[in-house]
Structure 1
């Protein structure tokens, strides 16, 4: 892929404004490393993503399990969650800025809002598909509801929960870039926005490649966690 990219740019068939060469992108990366901008942008974006997504994951797990195990809670919350799920998270940006200003909190909350409902519904569905035989057996052997929840349901849905987090992490990255385009002083999204303003396509490509590589590493991390913690499910 990189060779093909280099071959196309080497022929000069495409203007460098539209397709910069790998060498130009590499040089842009080196320049940002030397000035310290790259590390600041990476730290800012990664911190926002993990902060917002961790909060979403922590809230979604008990909420999804409660909705999956209780019909009453499910009937009360599922319509509301379903409604909010269809509201585009970037539409909340003006309200978040009005409520919390231009600091870090609105960006973290945007990721939280944008991933919470998907995580919750996927966990709820995982709970609903736990075999009834396992639950009935545990109850027959004298297990109480909290014990069944912790020792039967939680281990059973662990692979699906990890997989849900792995899938929805991509949405967190989409949201942080949108948030940084609107209101940020640093971050990969902000850097891409500034590069677009001055037609620096080499820096745009650099930002996109970095986001893709970080996403790939996170995805591999989730897969490794799944293999290590739920080897019985592989």
Structure 2
């Protein structure tokens, strides 16, 4: 009885088996509801095909339409845009969170630009970069960079001031405080920020591949919509979700490998 009550205690750990079981249950319930709606005839196949039709469409896409090529093209574009945003955004965010002069100079500008939708800049990106891969990577970069940088800044700013003051009291130099206190204390939050923003990068995929793309999951989804191939659209969406889960699990594995002291027993 106490174990059952613990499941609803805020922030309390739960057994790993329970955690995994609940995760599986959520997907089973989704699949069950989907099956009831489609096999039961409550929703026409044009709007929501059955799970069986989705599987059949996936087989066709992989065997006849070289879906693997589209997946690899999209992964390359999203990864390229995300890595470019991370290479620039992480150091800039750390500097903004550590030094007020950088925050005052950069943060208002980033705060202004981050409200501008990436899709609105597509005509300019085409004008500046053409219709090749650079334009698509630029859309994903623009949609990811500002949020990533500001989140890294917040993580760095939230490093305990007591730790910094203690380091100064012990005679650590300003440079030493940065390298030995601020940066190590920020790294867990930075890795978690990268995990979250990599997911955001995928949300810009379809937007990036709308214009002049001949490959990619976004391109396949838009082409399928044009010909009312709903099952193909859902296959593309599911594949993006599966890739997202794999990336998320990879980041979580990396997180606990780098910072094992932050792992709490009972939850993977």
Q: TM-score, normalised by structure 1?
A: 0.94
| Aligned match of 1:33 | 62
State the alpha-carbon separation in 2 of the partners of residues 231 and 133 from structure 1.
Answer: 23
State the alpha-carbon separation in 1 of the partners of residues 171 and 88 from structure 2.
Answer: 29
Residue in structure 2 matching 1:223, options 238, 246, 252: 252
Residue in structure 2 matching 1:122, options 151, 172, 178: 151
State the alpha-carbon separation in 1 of the partners of residues 87 and 183 from structure 2.
Answer: 14
Gapped runs of 5+ residues in structure 1? none
Question: How many residue pairs get matched?
Answer: 234
| Aligned match of 1:168 | 197
State the alpha-carbon separation in 1 of the partners of residues 177 and 141 from structure 2.
Answer: 29
Residue in structure 2 matching 1:45, options 74, 85, 89: 74
Displacement of 1:160: 1.1
| Aligned match of 1:61 | 90
Residue in structure 1 matching 2:130, options 96, 101, 104: 101
Deviations 1:60-86 (A, max 9, x none): 111011111111111111111111111
State the alpha-carbon separation in 2 of the partners of residues 13 and 120 from structure 1.
Answer: 46
Displacement of 1:150: 2.1
Residue 92 (1) aligns with residue 86 (2):
no
State the alpha-carbon separation in 2 of the partners of residues 208 and 64 from structure 1.
Answer: 32
Secondary structure, aligned partner of 1:220: helix
Check the 8 A contact 2:155/2:190 in 1, yes or no: yes
Name segments (4+ residues, structure 1) moved above 4 Å. none
Residue in structure 2 matching 1:201, options 230, 233, 240: 230
Q: TM-score, normalised by structure 2?
A: 0.83
**Structure number with higher helix proportion:** 1
